[in-house]
Amino acid sequence: MLLAAGCTGSTGTPAASSGSVASSGSAGLAGGGEQSAPSSTGPRSTIMTTPRPSLTTAPGVREVDGSCPYISAADFAAAEGDLVGRVTVLQSRPVGCRFYFRYDPSVLVGEITVDRFGTPTEAYNAMVLSAHGHPEVQSFRDVGDGAVAFQTPLQGTDTWQCVAARGRAVVVVRTRQPYPALNAVNLAREIVPKVAG
């Protein structure tokens, strides 16, 4: 099985699955073989046809109070570092979860979303693509089939998230922590094995 390039905690964008071909505008994403533009007569490469995973919850997705199927509120709080009060389940397919600060229910301290792709290769490539354009990206071989962590906004503040591939699934774990990435990565280590690949 191919995993994210680089050592655990190293910086740099991981390579996509071997044999994938990146366009010239996606330097650093192709894993093996030579880089070339797709032929207009041949099939397009997997990396070029793989959509990026959702890094935000789709508009209109309902959230209802409930218990997260991937991790308890207490375990999420212990790993993330903030006290958790309200927990909601996102009515997406597959379901996601949100965790809110105990003393201010308007403050989101974490979110878990799951996207499912047609093949494990597409899921892995989607994980790789999610990190494209983030200079502070770190890769982790020991989370699922490979994972990346980088900063993106959560309620307007740059915070860390971990995007991990497992089988056909891509799991995105967002936290409220601005530094370091370890909270999001440790949460992903616990959550990813519970998500059906």
Tens digit of pLDDT for each residue in 101-156?
999 999 999 999 999 999 999 999 999 999 988 888 999 999 999 999 999 888 88
> What are the beta bridge partners of residue 165?
170
Residue 119 lies in a domain: yes
Q: Look at the chain and report how many structural domains it folds into.
A: 1
> Is 147 within a domain?
yes
> Would 173 be classed as within a structural domain?
yes
Give dist(CA 25, CA 97) in Å, integer.
35
* pLDDT score recorded for residue 50: 64
Residue 57 within any structural domain of the chain: no
Asked if the model's pLDDT at residue 85 lies above 90, the reply is yes
* CATH number of the CATH domain containing 94: 3.40.1000.10
Which structural domain range is residue 139 located in? Answer: 63-194
* Domain contains 41: no
Contact indicator for 197, 121 with CB cutoff of 8 Å: no
Three-class secondary structure of residue 194 per DSSP? helix
pTM for the structure as a whole: 0.73
**33-47, 51-65, 97-111, 161-175: least confidently modelled range:** 33-47
pLDDT of residue 2: 38
Asked if residue 30 belongs to a domain, the reply is: no
Q: Is 135 contained in some domain?
A: yes
Residue 53: per-residue pLDDT: 65
Per-residue pLDDT, 180: 79
Side by side, the strands of the sheet bearing 84-90 are: 10-11, 138-140, 147-154, 157-166, 169-175, 104-116, 96-101, 84-90, 63-65
Q: Cα 169–135–168 angle (5° rounding)? A: 10
Burial of 61 (0-12, 13-18, 19+ CB in 10 A): middle
Domain assignment present for residue 98? The answer is yes
More confident: 37 or 96: 96
